[in-house]
Amino acid sequence: MTKPILEIKELKTSFKAYNGLLPAVDGVSLTVNEGEIVGVVGESGCGKSVTAQSILRLFDERKEVKYEGEISYGGVNLLSLKAKQMSSIRGNDISMIFQDPLTSLNPVYPIGEQIVEAMLAHQRISKKQAMQRAIELLQLTGIPSPQERYHQYPHQLSGGMRQRVMIAIALACRPKLLIADEPTTALDVTIQAQIMSLLARLNKQLNMSILLITHDLGIVAETCHKVVVMYLGQVVETASVQELFQSPRHPYTQALLQAMPRIDSERGKPLTVIEGSLPTLNQLPQGCRFVSRCSYATEKCHSASPILKPVEGVQALVRCWNADLIKIESRSQGQQARSGGEDHVIQSVQS
């Protein structure tokens, strides 16, 4: 049995607004084990990126945000650490890849110097050793002619290469946990497949745990070991990849799977959409947060908020009053969706 490297318990991240605190993340709990790839999925605005950035406490705690709950890394609650202690963990023990590498990289410094800077900030190493290590990292991440690329600037590289540089910077100090926030955003499908293949290879070679934030369920089906589904700041379902795609328990998970594009769909047939829209944070429903968009909703769903509870017989958690009633009906749908997800990835690689 692998042991947990990251445990989040009842995390609440609230932003200060003119009318009080708005909970962008509300009671999130999840676990990442050693050597595991955990995917976090959900539509835009569900709190995926805020959860990821909360782990490293990247928001301004003096002005804009308030954290509650527990984020345990190596047995230490990161929310209890002082700013200097937290700085020693960022980029060293836990690294993060952001969505847009062009805005994350410094445009006035060569990429090699930016990798070296990350190492010199956290490790006792000479600049010569750091330079050699930076070239090795560029080679490890699949960048051709790494010695030449070392001296180039971000604008001289393609989008895929810039993302590889971001991965190289993230790996500079050999972190135990890598947080990848939409690492394939704005990349074409061929480069997306290469980046995800690279992350999967690094996971195996370095036994590095990865928390993967993504919209693409096809990528999740091919890459991850476990899936966390979020909706409106809460975790609504957690399960292994196989269990979730074969038998999704939460109506929102079912809706996400049904909305996936399929290569075997009839030509001209419109895509399935999730009816309704996401409520705002200052007008949250009293009961279940998915109630206004759910076809299974009952009177209880409108009045009482469900808790995240275990599913009998499998290692899964679901936040739904009616999960036991819909799980049998959803099995065939889940199998079809998983097949569609795999085909989607295979098609992406071949394109």
Take residue 340 and report the two structure tokens written for it: 């569609």
What's the DSSP call for residue 96?
A: E
Reported pTM: 0.89
Residue 329: predicted pLDDT: 47
Residue identified by tokens 């998915």 is 290
Cα 59–Cα 61–Cα 66 angle in degrees, nearest 5: 95
Residue 266: predicted pLDDT: 67
Per residue of the chain (351 residues), give pLDDT as tens: 578 999 999 999 999 988 888 999 999 999 999 999 999 999 988 999 999 999 999 999 888 899 999 999 989 999 999 999 999 999 999 999 988 888 889 999 999 999 999 999 888 999 999 999 999 999 999 999 999 999 999 999 998 999 999 999 999 999 999 999 998 877 888 888 898 999 999 999 999 999 999 988 989 999 999 999 999 999 999 999 999 999 899 999 999 998 887 776 666 677 788 888 888 888 888 899 999 999 889 999 999 999 999 988 788 999 999 987 775 444 444 444 444 444 433 333 333
What's the DSSP call for residue 165?
A: H
Q: Hey, is 166 helix, strand or coil?
A: helix
Residue 110: predicted pLDDT: 97
Amino acid 71 reads I
Residue 177: predicted pLDDT: 97
Residue 34: predicted pLDDT: 95
Question: In this structure, how many other beta carbons lie within 10 angstroms of the beta carbon of residue 202?
Answer: 18
Task: Indicate the angle between helix axes 127-140 and 159-171, nearest 10 degrees.
Answer: 130
The answer to whether 100 and 182 are in contact (CB under 8 A) is no
Residue 270: predicted pLDDT: 76
Q: Encode burial over 10-44: b for 16+ CB neighbours within 10 A, e otherwise.
A: ebbbbeeeeeeebbbbbbbbbbbbebbbbbbbbbe
- Closest Cα to residue 69, out of 29, 36, 35? 29
